[in-house]
Each structure stands twice: as C-alpha cells, then as structure tokens.
C-alpha cells in the first residue's frame, strides 16, 4: 500500500468542503460478490451480455431467473467489508456527503451509510413488466424464487437496472447534482466503462473536484480524469485512509 498516497487522500478529504464516493462492483468483491471481471464466479457461468440485458428478460425470463436466483443467494448472505464500513465512518465523521453506488447489493446501507444513491436500482423491490405491480422483496426467501406477480402470476423482475434500461430518474438527477457540487470524489472499485454512471467522476472533474481512484488496476479514468490512483484492495485502502484522516484531524 502506498502510504504517501493514503496521506494525500486524507489531506484531500480534510481540505474538501464536500466529498462523495462513487462505487462499483469491486468494493463488494471482498464480501464475496464477484465483479464482472473476476476470473471465477457468477459471471463466468452467466455472460452479463447475455443475461443482464433487458431483452433477455423479455424473451426468456425463466433463463434470466437462473442468474438472478444465484445473485440473490449471494446478496442475501453477503456482509459489508471494511471498505463499506470505512465509508460509513467517514459519513458519520461529517466528511462524506453521499455514496453513489452502481451496486445492487445493499451493502453500503448494511454498513451504516445513510445517504446512499442506488444508480442501478436494487433488489429490495420487484416489478411486473406486464401489469406494473410492484412488490416488496425484502421478506423473500430463496425458496420463493423465481418470484411471481401476486396479481397476474407473470415472472417479476427485480428493480435493478438491466443493460438497455433507463437509470431511475431521481437517482440520476441527485447523483449528477452531487457530482457537480463536490470538491473531491473517491472512485472505488469500478471499471468506469458503464455509462451514464461513468460520467459521474468526469462531471466532478469538469467542475474542478479532486478525483481519487482506488482500484486493483488502472481504468480509462486513470491518468486522464483521476488525479491519482491508489492501487490495491478497497478493503485495505479505505480503512487506512480513515485512520489517516483521524490522525491528521
Ligand atoms: P466491473 O466488474 O466492471 O469492475 C470492477 C472493478 O473493480 C474493476 O476495475 C476491478 O479492478 C476493481 N476491483 C476488483 N476487486 C477490487 C477490490 N477488492 N478493491 C478495489 N477494486 C477492485 O464493475 P462496475 O464498474 O461496477 O460495472 C459493472 C456493473 O455491474 C455495474 O453496473 C454494477 O451495478 C453491476 N454489478 C453489481 C454487483 C453488486 O451489486 N455487487 C456485482 C457485479 C456487477
Ligand atoms: Zn403482473
């Protein structure tokens, strides 16, 4: 871990009037939920292009539910890791305005973050594409899946944003507002290739914010949009930043 960059990030957070975090699947890898790039796991079995597109759900919902059931099983048992917990601590310290996440696993909320914007929706509710009925998914058990519409018995779709679907308008508007008004953004565990999500750090940069990237590898943002990349695992780097913030404060 690069201690100099940890110190720099802590200084940037303490200096910034408003800091936000923008997170992707990488922050939940240490909680046991694979990202799209992992060499093993869910996405080796199910090609996201084939299973995570809205057309796939329309044409063969039974097939897509095979993937969804595996995803639900992972999400139901996953626990927040030190990266999620560190962000919740920064918020409690009054140093983090919001977490904008592309994840649908609810782990930021489970860690105690309060102001979480779910850019790609969540598993907590499910909707019927035929009759528009929406139901609560929080009390569902694995045995209840695939879930059917209580009104018309069609297969329900979790309210997560599939490829080809629009971003929930309120989440998008609020995220863009946060990114344009922040002075620093922590970009954690995202490959930054899925748009419009990836425009969040770009907008922040255009408004003069400091962009701090935390990732195992470089991304299209690295060296272009991000001011610096702290290479390594989020579960180690975020707690180290929080500790350094405490030390400097
Ligand atoms: P991605 O899979 O495209 O990229 C993940 C990034 O995280 C990679 O750049 C990787 O190097 C990095 N990474 C992996 N492990 C890390 C670690 N321990 N610490 C720091 N960085 C790490 O993910 P994305 O950019 O979020 O885009 C994929 C889309 O898939 C998103 O829309 C997301 O909603 C969805 N998705 C969500 C989940 C989830 O909810 N947990 C899981 C898989 C995919
Ligand atoms: Zn229905």
Per residue in 21-39, pLDDT (tens digit) is 999 999 999 999 998 877 6
Q: Which domains does the chain have, with CATH numbers?
A: 1-33+80-120+168-249 (3.40.50.1220), 36-77+121-160 (3.30.1600.10)
Give the strands of the sheet with 134-136, arranged side by side: 134-136, 121-128, 156-160
**Ligand 1 proximity of 30 Cβ (cutoff 6 Å):** yes
Whether the per-residue pLDDT at 43 is higher than 90: the answer is no
From the list 53, 55, 108, 120, the catalytic residue is 120
CA-proximal residue: ligand 1, atom 8 (nearest): 191
CB 244 within 8 A of CB 7: yes
| Span 45-55, average pLDDT | 90
Mean pLDDT in the chain? Answer: 95
**Ligand 1 proximity of 84 Cβ (cutoff 6 Å):** no
Residue 123 annotated among the catalytic residues of the structure: no
> Separation of 129 CA from ligand 2 center, angstroms?
7
Greater pLDDT, 139 or 57? 57
CB 147 within 8 A of CB 140: yes
Note the ligand closest to the C-alpha atom of 231: 1
**Ligand 1 proximity of 191 Cβ (cutoff 6 Å):** yes
Per residue in 58-101, pLDDT (tens digit) is 999 999 999 999 998 988 899 999 999 999 999 999 999 999 99
Q: How many CA within 13 A on the CB side of residue 87? A: 33
Tell me, what's the pLDDT at 36? Answer: 81
Place 138 in a pLDDT band, splitting at 50, 70 and 90: confident
Percent of the chain with pLDDT over 70: 100
**Ligand 1 proximity of 36 Cβ (cutoff 6 Å):** yes
Q: Which residue has the tokens 């100099």?
A: 4
Query: Which pTM does this prediction carry?
Result: 0.96
Tell me, what's the pLDDT at 38? Answer: 73
Tell which one of 1, 36, 70 to mutate to probe ligand 1, the residue whose CB is within 8 A of the most ligand atoms.
36
Q: Which residue has the tokens 């590898």?
A: 217
What string of H, E and C letters represents the secondary structure of the chain?
CCHHHHHHHHHHHHHCCCEEEEECHHHHHHHCCCCCCCCCCHHHHCCHHHHCEHHHHHHCHHHHHHHHHHHHHHHHHCCCCHHHHHHHHHHHCCCCCEEEECCCCCHHHHHCCCCEEECCEEEEEEEECCCCCEEECCCCCHHHCCCECCCCCCEEEEEECCECCCCCHHHHHHHHHHHHHCCEEEEECCCCCCCCCCHHHHHHHHCCCEEEEEECCCCCCECCCECEEEECCHHHHHHHHHHHHHHHC
Tell me, what's the pLDDT at 39? Answer: 67
Tell which one of 22, 23, 24, 121 to mutate to probe ligand 1, the residue whose CB is within 8 A of the most ligand atoms.
24
Residue 148 pairs in a beta bridge with 155
Note the ligand closest to the C-alpha atom of 152: 2
CB 117 within 8 A of CB 185: no
Tell which one of 26, 27, 164 to mutate to probe ligand 1, the residue whose CB is within 8 A of the most ligand atoms.
26
| Span 156-177, average pLDDT | 97
Place 200 in a pLDDT band, splitting at 50, 70 and 90: very high
């Amino acid at each position: 871990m690069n201690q100099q960059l940890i110190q720099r990030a802590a200084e940037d957070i303490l200096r910034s009037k408003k800091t936000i975090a923008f997170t992707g699947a990488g922050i939940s890898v240490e909680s046991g939920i694979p990202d799209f790039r992992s060499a093993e796991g869910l996405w080796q079995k199910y090609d996201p292009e084939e299973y995570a597109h809205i057309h796939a759900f329309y044409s063969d919902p039974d097939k897509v539910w095979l993937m969804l059931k595996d995803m639900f099983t992972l999400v139901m048992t996953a626990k927040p890791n030190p990266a999620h917990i560190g962000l919740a601590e920064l918020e409690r310290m009054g140093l983090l305005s919001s977490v904008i996440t592309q994840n649908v696993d609810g782990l930021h909320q489970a860690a105690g973050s309060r102001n979480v914007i779910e850019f790609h929706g969540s598993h907590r509710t499910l909707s019927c594409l035929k009759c528009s009925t929406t139901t609560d998914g929080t009390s569902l058990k694995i045995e209840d899946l695939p879930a059917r519409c209580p009104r018309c018995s069609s297969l329900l779709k979790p309210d997560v944003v599939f490829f080809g679907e629009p971003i929930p308008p309120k989440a998008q508007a609020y995220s863009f507002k946060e990114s344009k008004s922040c002075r620093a953004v922590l970009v954690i565990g995202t490959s930054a290739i899925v748009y419009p999500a990836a425009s969040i750090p770009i907008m922040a940069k255009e408004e003069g914010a400091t962009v701090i990237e935390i990732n195992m590898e470089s991304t299209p943002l690295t060296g272009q949009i991000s001011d610096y990349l702290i290479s390594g695992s989020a579960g180690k780097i975020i707690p180290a930043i929080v500790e350094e913030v405490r030390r400097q404060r």
